[in-house]
Structures are given as C-alpha cells and as structure tokens.
Structure 1
C-alpha cells in the first residue's frame, strides 16, 4: 500500500511536515479543497490555513519535535492521531514574542482522505496549555 492509499501514513507525514516546517510538502498531502471543521473565524481557510500554521510553527519554535502518541482508523475511514509537540519558543507565535522557554503541548487530529490526499479535518489543540507555558 502506498502512502497515497494509506490514510494513516498520510496523517503521520503531515505531522512530519509540521515538525520540519516543509511548507512545499503540504500540496503533496492535502487537497486544495480541504474542509477544516474547526477553522478560527477571520483566518486563512483550507489548505492555505495549513500552510500558514506550518510556517508559524517554523517561525515560532526551534528544536521542534512532534511525537505521534496514538493513531487509529475508524470504521468509516477517519484517521485519529493524538500527538505531542515540544520545542523552544524562539520566534513570534501569533503576537507572542520569543520567550526562550521550552514548551510541550498536545492535540488530536481527525483526518479523512480521498484520492491520496487529506480532504477533511477536525482538530483540537491544548492551546491553553501552550499559552500558560509562554506567559508563566
């Protein structure tokens, strides 16, 4: 089974994109028509939002590591990935200037694939946990 036919491999590859900051890989993994059910109001949407966030992680953090804690596949084709990101806050993060602090926070992504790319996502990140570490 190739990665394009394996939603779990696609989900893992997306985490690696966030870890590496390789924005160019986004187009290989995610459909241009991505539906994000948790899109913050007033922000970029779809695949553009993914590009913005990958860039923001790269700009805001160094020594970034993303560990996939759990991955499962639902009976209707959704991939569930629980992950933990660690890094050092060395750049701007959505208006919070660099603090030099080490951070660790978790999140869960639910992805649906079609035609070898992710087409739909639901996600939750513990941003309160992250913000507490940045402002403590």
Structure 2
C-alpha cells in the first residue's frame, strides 16, 4: 500500500510541474537567478536548450553548458544580481517575451576580467520558449555597449 501511495504522490507532483504555465516556469526560473543559485536555475532548462545572448552572438547549446557558461558566469560576476521583469509579459501558448532590468555590483570575475566593484544596471528583452515545463530556448537582447561602459 505504501508503494502505491508513493507512486501516486510522485505522479501527482510530476504532473503538477508539467501543468505549470510557461509564465509560471519563467517566473520560477528568474527566482532561482535571484536566489543566486545557478544549479537550481539550470533545472528549468531542457537538456537540449539553446541559449542565445545577442551580445555574444553564438548560441550556447545544452543544459550544462548554459548553466555553467551563462547563468553561473552572470551570478559569479554579479553575486548580488537582481533580474526583474518589468511591465506586463507577452505570451502565447509556449512562448513568453518580456522586458527586464538587470542590476547589481560587479564584485566577481566576469568573462575573464577582474571585478570592477562598480554597480551595473541595464535593460533588455528575453524571448523564452517552454515545452512541458522546461525552457527549450532563451534569447536575450540588450545594450551590451551600455553594460561595457558601466564596467569601465
């Protein structure tokens, strides 16, 4: 009887995760960033996710590479980061697009450069596709020139 209860509980909990709306998934994913937990944020990414940062130009493919080379890199570079959705997101079925502001102090190494200990704050837009509770694509578009100027 205990085994049946455990199987039912597992099924119910996994179906709850899959039944989340794409917007709920995105908000929880952003929450993990704001908790400064790269691994937790990475759990919201599909194994074969494509993460495109327009400032870099080359997409990162795969969950572990996106977690390590994008999420962790940002969190390590700006340990007190705050990634905030502003305005009302636009979404249609499995796609969520929204404007955001990213802020914090560059007190850690970032992209091979030493910390500047300068505050940063820049705006951007993300386009995120969610399938069965996992992010399969993320595209981030922002003014990297403004960010570079803030880091000088």
TM-score by length of 2: 0.75
Contact kept? 1:18, 1:57, Cα under 8 Å? no
The answer for unaligned runs of 5 or more in structure 1 is: none
CA distance in 2, matches of 1:131, 1:3: 38
Counterpart Cα distance in 1 of 2:64 and 2:113 = 22
1:7 pairs, out of 12, 22, 45, with 22
- Alignment of 1:121 onto 2:144: no
Structure 2 residue aligned with 1:31: 46
Q: Distance in 2 between matches of 1:68 and 1:107?
A: 10
Tell whether 2:76 aligns with 1:59: yes
CA distance 1:83–1:48, shift in 2 (3 Å): same
Unaligned runs of 5+ in 2: 1-15
TM-score, normalised via structure 1 length: 0.82
CA-CA distance at 1:91 after TM superposition: 1.1
Q: Give the distance between the partners of 2:120 and 2:77, measured in 1 at CA.
A: 11
Give the alignment's Cα RMSD to 1 decimal.
2.3
Match of 2:97 among 77, 80, 84: 80
For residues 3 and 131 of structure 1, the distance between their equivalents in structure 2, rounded to whole angstroms, comes to 38
Moved over 3 A (4+): 36-41
Q: Distance in 2 between matches of 1:49 and 1:124?
A: 19
1:81-96 correspondence to structure 2 within 5 Å: 81-96=98-113
**Corresponding residue for 1:17?**
32
8 Å Cα contact 1:3/1:9 also seen in 2: no
- Deviation, 1:58, is 1.8
